[in-house]
């Protein structure tokens, strides 16, 4: 089964500078994104969801703009086509509104279910920051 690329944008009432630590650090991500997030000495992030750990490397980051986590392969197919999540902060030049653009490249194949999932995850972030 191939992977699917899901992209969605969510408006959030907070500055890029305030939001970025919540997207790019283990402690920030653990507050809203996963049940727990740890990072080891090799800079491998361990995302804990529903009793399972998923390991990822931060493969790209631009401060106050975006971060990308590529999940370590769990199967042979994953080695050639790794799953990833990219969180990008974008500002509408006209309104100065800040948006989080989520790109989720994974095995999930129901776009509606994925949108609901991300809507709930981002809602947790909004509750946390008051945005």
Q: Print burial letters for 55-89: b (CB count within 10 Å at least 16), e (below 16).
A: ebbbeeeeeeebbbbbbeeeeeeeeeebbbbbbbb
Task: Report the pLDDT value the prediction gives residue 80, as an integer from 0 to 100.
Answer: 85
Beta strands in 50-83 (DSSP E): 52-62, 66-71
How confident is the model at residue 19, as a pLDDT?
95
Q: d(Cα 17, Cα 91) in Å, to the nearest integer?
A: 12
Nearest one of 16, 115, 107 to 67, comparing CA atoms: 16
Asked whether 67 and 61 are in contact (CB, 8 A), the reply is yes
Q: Which domains can be identified in the chain, with CATH numbers?
A: 4-24+56-129 (3.30.530.20)
Question: What six digits make up the tokens of 28?
Answer: 């920030």
Q: From CA 111, how far away is CA 36, in angstroms rounded?
A: 25
pLDDT at 131: 63
* The pLDDT of residue 122: 95
The pLDDT assigned to 78 comes to 79
Each residue's pLDDT expressed in tens, for the chain with a length of 131 residues: 578 999 999 999 899 999 999 999 999 999 999 999 999 999 999 999 999 999 999 999 999 999 999 999 887 877 889 999 999 999 998 988 999 999 999 988 888 999 999 999 999 999 999 86
């Amino acid at each position: 089964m191939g992977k699917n690329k899901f992209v969605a944008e969510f408006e959030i009432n907070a500055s890029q500078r305030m939001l970025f630590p919540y997207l790019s650090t283990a402690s920030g991500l653990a507050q809203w994104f996963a049940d727990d997030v740890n990072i080891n000495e090799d800079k491998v992030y361990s995302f804990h969801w529903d009793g399972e750990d998923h390991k990822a490397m931060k493969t790209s980051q631009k401060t106050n703009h975006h971060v990308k986590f590529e999940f370590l392969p769990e199967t042979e197919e994953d080695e050639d086509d790794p799953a990833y999540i990219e969180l990008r902060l974008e500002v509408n030049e006209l309104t100065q509104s800040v948006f989080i653009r989520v790109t989720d490249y994974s095995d999930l194949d129901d776009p509606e279910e994925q949108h609901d999932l991300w809507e709930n995850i981002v809602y947790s972030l909004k509750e946390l920051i008051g945005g």
